[in-house]
Structure 1
Amino acid sequence: MNFESLEVWKRAARLSADIYKNSTITKDFGFRDQLTRAGLSVPSNIAEGMTRDSDKEKVRFLDIPRSSLAEARTQIYIGIDINYIDSNIGQLWLCETSELSKMLSSLISKIKERI
Structure 2
Amino acid sequence: MEPIRSDFGLKDQFRKTAMSMSDNIAEGFEYNNNPDFIRFLTYAKSSSGEFRNKIINLEEAKKISSNDFKFLYEKCIEFSSKTKHLIDYLRNFEKKKKTLKKVFRTLSV
Go from structure 1 to structure 2 and tell me whether the alpha carbon gap of 1:79 and 1:25 turns closer, same or farther (over 3 Å shift): closer
**1:96 to 2:68 alignment:** no
Compute the TM-score of the two structures, normalised by the length of structure 2. 0.77
Which blocks of at least 5 consecutive residues in structure 1 are unaligned? 1-23
* Matched-pair identity in %: 29
Deviating more after overlay: 32-41 vs 42-51? 42-51
Q: CA deviation at 1:25?
A: 5.3
Aligned-residue RMSD, C-alpha = 1.5
Matches within 5 A, 1:1-115: 26-115=5-94
Distance in 2, matches of 1:39 and 1:73, equals 9
Distance in 1, matches of 2:93 and 2:66, equals 41
Distance in 2, matches of 1:112 and 1:31, equals 36
Q: CA deviation at 1:29?
A: 2.4
Which blocks of at least 5 consecutive residues in structure 2 are unaligned? 95-109
Whose Rg is larger?
Answer: 2
